[in-house]
Amino acid sequence: MNAQPHEMAAVESLLAFWRDAGVDACYLDAPVDHTHVELPPPAKAVQRATASVAPPPCRDDAAQEARALAASAATLQDLAAAIAAFEGCTLRGLGATQSVFARGNPNAPVLVIGEAPGAEEDLKGQPFVGKAGQLLDRMLAAAGLTDKVFITNTVFWRPPGNRTPSPQEQAACTPFVERTFALLKPKAVLLLGAAAARSVLQTEDGIMKMRGQWREWRLNEGAVSAPAMPTLHPAFLLRQPQAKRQVWADLLALAVRLEGESHLSAGIEGER
């Protein structure tokens, strides 16, 4: 039976659609599940190795050494040098090529803390410069926060396989994180992801329970404190784009809080 002209037009339109979508064959000898992506053998081997081998423990005196180095840093530049000289965190000897401290405005009103450097960060020596960092920068810009942040991590060397840093590795670096907080004296702190939030706030709460809530971060020594808000890590947003709405709400809440702080400071100055 001959096809009608309108039927042929519909078929041609459908074929053109599939061609533009990248389809180059109507069928294969066997079905292919394109929803399942096989990792190459080397990547699988790395994943198995990093998942099955426990991180080596940091030295017992690592935190004490870090505390002494951090205390001697009078500026953020001094602190970067102190971190580069620190050998107490075992991540330094597990394949990282250099220490990765921070980037951003050294006089920023917001301190942003992630969990650890990745491959791009290890290569360039700055935190959040890969795909997750680029997404973070776009979201910060949209919220009007580009020049108002100073960005760092809870550890300063890339964990092997980009795994989450262990609590022991974070504890070895905590004095440097706290010294960053003390030197910057931010008006607010943004914690990216569960690992950063748990390390800084010393809690076992899950990120979904914490995100969007203001909590206080206060150092044991000195009078330094600031409201801290946990939110989702931008790397998570790359895998779950629908969660961007939640982080966007958190960033807007941060921007509003900063605006309120600015008006309050201006009012106090005007009364003097």
Max CA separation in the chain (angstroms): 93
Q: How confident is the model at residue 54 (pLDDT cuts 50, 70, 90)?
A: low
pLDDT in the model for residue 211: 97
Instruction: Name the average pLDDT for the chain.
Output: 86
Kindly state the average pLDDT of the residues 50-65. Answer: 72
> Computed from CA positions of residues 51, 54, 59, 63, in that sequence, does the dihedral angle turn out positive or negative?
positive
The CATH number of 58-271 is which of 3.20.20.100, 3.40.470.10, 3.40.50.2300, 3.30.420.40?
3.40.470.10
- The sheet carrying 188-192 orders its strands as 103-104, 149-153, 110-114, 188-192, 225-231, 215-218
List CB contacts of 59: < 8 A, sequence separation 6 or more.
65, 88, 172
pLDDT tens sequence across 58-101: 776 899 999 999 999 999 999 999 999 999 999 999 999 999 99
pLDDT in the model for residue 1: 52
Phi, psi (deg, nearest 5) at residue 190: -110, 120
Nearest to 236 by CA among 177, 190, 195, 188: 195
pLDDT tens sequence across 172-223: 999 999 999 999 999 999 999 999 999 999 999 999 999 999 999 999 877 8
Q: Kindly state the tokens that stand for 96.
A: 């990282």
**Under DSSP, is residue 110 helix (H, G, I), strand (E, B) or coil?**
strand
Q: How confident is the model at residue 268 (pLDDT cuts 50, 70, 90)?
A: very low
**Dist. CA 48–CA 194, nearest whole Å:** 23
Which runs of consecutive H residues, i.e. helices, occur in 107-243? 119-124, 131-142, 167-184, 194-201, 207-210, 234-239
**Dist. CA 184–CA 232, nearest whole Å:** 23
